Amino acid sequence: MHDRPINVLFLCTHNSARSILAEAALNHLGKGRFKAWSAGSSPRENQQPNPLALKALQLAGISTEGLRSKSWDDFAGPDAPKMDLIITVCDNAAGETCPYWPGHPATAHWGYADPSWVEGTEEQRLAAFQHTLHALRHRLDLLIALPTGGVDTTSALQTSARDLSSS
């Protein structure tokens, strides 16, 4: 894995909030050592990233360029990038049967409540997205801080990512 970035796919149900936040944050924080994507198990027709997710990222200084909602089917084909690690970030996607992933990547589950479900003023709803982004960044910072030798095999990567589930 040393000759290329560690490819990480974040999965959620609709690919509009948590997985989008994780994709953008890891690409921002990973400094080329990691390459992140996100996808959903069942994105709605014409699904777009939640505007409050995009606003939370922008307020944190993280680029939103190129972010879009995608189906996990986009990453299961022979022409898709080879994933090293797949992380589910919502309980719905964690319980679903995932497609076959070429190369048998490491997997982990980092569950977060859906900030899209928070009701209240726009400020309160934005705060929920910012809270989720902050929680994701904490785990991503720990993942990024792992020594390179600690994540150079699938089993080591899986153990490391799963250990971060309780962080």
Q: Where are the domains of the chain?
A: 6-156
State yes or no: is 66 an active-site residue: no
State yes or no: is 90 an active-site residue: yes
Distance CA 67, CA 23 (A): 9
Prediction pTM value: 0.86
pLDDT band at residue 13 using 50, 70 and 90 as cut-offs: confident
What tens digit of pLDDT does each residue of 82-138 get?
899 999 898 655 555 556 666 778 888 898 999 999 999 999 999 999 999 999 999
Please report the beta strands in 64-133, taking only residues with DSSP state E, as ranges in sequence order: 85-88, 106-109
Contacts of 132 (CB under 8 A, 6+ apart): 17, 18, 21, 56, 112, 113, 115
Catalytic option among 1, 98, 118, 146 = 98
Catalytic option among 24, 90, 157, 164 = 90
pLDDT band at residue 146 using 50, 70 and 90 as cut-offs: confident
CATH superfamily of 6-156: Response regulator (3.40.50.2300)
Catalytic option among 11, 12, 87, 157 = 12
User: Which of 42, 59, 51 shows the shortest CA–CA distance to 20?
Assistant: 51
State yes or no: is 119 an active-site residue: no
Average pLDDT on 56-61 reads 98
pLDDT of res. 1: 46
pLDDT of res. 90: 81
- 18, 115 contact by CB (below 8 A): yes
